[in-house]
Amino acid sequence: MTDGAESADHEHPVDPERVARARERLPTAEEGDRLASVLSIMADPTRARLLYALDVVEELCVGDLALALLISEDAASYGLRVLRTAGLVTRRKVGRVVYYRLSDGFPEPLRQHCLRQLIDMSRSSVDDDDS
């Protein structure tokens, strides 16, 4: 199986055991679609910053999040609505004030390692381009 860009000078699979192992551990196509959808939701700069803010302080209302991010309350509200619809944040109401927080089970390794590492990697890529 080639994509036409290169000719195969050998039979595939070259390593059938690894191919089988990869197949066993891959997410299904449906799971891949859901993952891509969640990642695209998180890829928005405002929504990503909202997630970071909630990770740092655990819980804030829309107005306070808007102040922290230096954005409008409408932008914060819309971003939170998208994140809540995706199941990434939850809310609780106290009187007229609605507080937002990361959903229970939001993966700690994602917060503590992956997202921050991705930012660092993207900085390195920009720095490499400037050389």
Segments making up each domain of the chain, as ranges? 12-43, 45-130
pTM recorded for the entire structure: 0.72
Q: Looking at the DSSP assignment, which residues form a beta bridge with residue 92? A: 99
Q: Among candidates 130, 127, 131, which has minimal Cα distance to 119?
A: 127
Residue 99's pLDDT band (boundaries 50, 70, 90)?
very high
Q: Give per-residue pLDDT as tens, 10-29.
A: 888 788 899 899 889 888 89
Q: Give per-residue pLDDT as tens, 40-58.
A: 888 899 999 999 899 889 8
Thinking of the domain 45-130, which architecture would CATH place it in?
Orthogonal Bundle (1.10)
For position 129, what pLDDT does the model report? 58
Q: Among candidates 73, 72, 76, 87, which has minimal Cα distance to 41?
A: 87
Would you state the structure tokens that stand for residue 17, as one six-digit string? 């055991």
CA–CA distance, 90 with 87 (Å, rounded to integer): 7
Instruction: Assign 130 to helix, strand or coil.
Output: helix
Q: In this model, does residue 126 exceed pLDDT 70?
A: no
Q: In this model, does residue 6 exceed pLDDT 70?
A: no
